A = this chain, B = another copy of it.
Amino acid sequence: MTKFVYQCSNCGKRYQRDEVRYLCPLCSRDYRSGIPLIGVLSAQFDYGAIRRKFSKVKPDWNQFSAVEEKFYPPLPVGNTPFFKTAALGNELGFDNVWIKNDGLNPSASLKDRASFLVVAEANRLKEQTIVAASTGNAASALAAVCAAAGKRALIFVPENAPKAKLVQMILYGATVVPVRGTYDDAFRLSLEYNAKRGGLNRNTAYHPLTIEGKKTVGLEIWQQNHWRVPDAILVPTGDGVIISGVHKAFCDLKAAGLISRLPRLVCAQAEKSNAIHHYVESGIYENAAHPDTIADSISVSIPSNAHMARQAILESGGFSITVSDAEILEGQSTLAAKTGVFAEPACSAVVAALKKLRGSKRLGHSEQIVLLITGHGLKDVDAAMRGIHLPKAVEPTLAAVEVALKARAKKGAR
């Protein structure tokens, strides 16, 4: 850990580490559900200290951490694969496309990174119960890390969350409360519970260490990319916390003098869950009226971190783009068939986005482009099934097999 203070992303006021816990007390006095969070805090480190000590020969990533290593939960997260995919690049018309596959975290999503750090913080604060609202992945992640750390996870989740995610969190031993309502209802309920019953809240962006946890994916990309900054990173975006975390990674590296430029961040949203996109394009914030997308992980009416996400996109010189559900399913299938990576619909949005950007000049043909894959496709098999056809069973003879394969070939199927 390196010494840090919290800084309000709205008014700029700085707080000592234990002076605040969630939002800036000045800006969020009137916090209520129905609007994005105001006064989200950002950890600002002693970057001079990092600069003096950080070594690429023996990189100590704990220097970038806001919690002491001794509090870390006993479940390794991160260190996921980063690799170039020529085949997908060719298919989409780009020369230098890379994948960061964060679906290969323990609970199968990037959210494990945030949960890891918040549970470390709970260890430090000696809090036994951690409460969260989530569309699914953050909750599974919190349940997994709490299981490893011997904490109680209390989770509010909209009742329509995919079954696999519910099964996961229950199996991890979490107390799960499906709510007849939206993610926004679940968010509000979790705060009400904490206010009355105590415990630590892990809601995304609401607890500043969720951003710090997600930041680690950016640090890893830089290291795995042999200490080079990619030109652009495409990030599937719902609440806007992952994209803020990725941005924070490179801002920290820049502040520490370890890099000299930021990667452009491209925000990929679903057409019907596009509040941040609209905000970036127009400068005017509006809730997404009826978020409705197969990509449940990025389906949100009121993105909690809309303000910081917009700032990250603009500051990085990036932009935003939306894709339809049909494009998302096609992206999922293209990604799987060209790279061997099975991603959940939410992150397949980045593949769909890149496809749309072909020839647009917003991304250069030879630029290094990273697709951030944030969750495994096995999280939502029913969604994936919508795009495919299960072949019929055949009798166990070679003759029957050959007949079946011929019939398929005739129809142009595999």
On A, residues with C-beta under 8 Å from B are 73-76, 79, 81, 83-87, 101, 104-108, 143-148, 150, 156, 159, 163-164, 166-168, 170-181, 185-186, 188-189, 192-193, 196, 332-333, 336-342, 376-379, 381, 384-385, 387-398, 401, 404-405, 408, 414
Contacts and interface: CB of A to CB of B under 8 A. Distances in A.
Contacts of A385: 163, 167
A313 to B, nearest CB: 29
Given A106-B341, A171-B388, A180-B396, 9 more contacts: A74-B339, A144-B342, A147-B337, A163-B381, A170-B390, A172-B342, A179-B394, A193-B401, A378-B378
The list of the 6 closest CB pairs from A to B, nearest first, reads A173-B337, A181-B396, A378-B378, A148-B340, A144-B340, A185-B396
A77 to B, nearest CB: 8
**Number of identical protomers:** 2
Among A85, A188, A401, A404, the one with the most B-chain Cβ atoms within 10 Å of its Cβ is A401
B378 A108 contact: yes
Contacts of A174: 414
Contacts of A337: 147, 171-173
A197 to B, nearest CB: 9
A168 B177 CA distance: 30
11 contacts: A74-B84, A74-B87, A79-B81, A81-B106, A106-B341, A107-B340, A171-B387, A172-B337, A173-B337, A175-B408, A179-B396
Contacts of A340: 73, 75, 106-107, 143-148, 172
A170 B381 CA distance: 12
Contact of A378 (B101, B186, B379): B379
Contacts of A159: 393
Contacts of A390: 166-167, 170, 178
A348 to B, nearest CB: 10
A83 B76 contact: yes
A85 B178 CA distance: 30
A377 to B, nearest CB: 7
Contacts of A86: 74
A389 B192 CA distance: 26
Contacts of A388: 167, 170-171
A106 B104 contact: yes
A189 B401 contact: yes
A296 to B, nearest CB: 15
B333 A178 contact: no
Contact of A392 (B87, B171, B178, B193): B178
A89 B84 CA distance: 39
A395 B339 contact: no
B148 A339 contact: yes
Contacts of A196: 398
A173 B387 CA distance: 12
A104 B104 contact: yes
Contact of A391 (B177, B378, B381, B401): B177
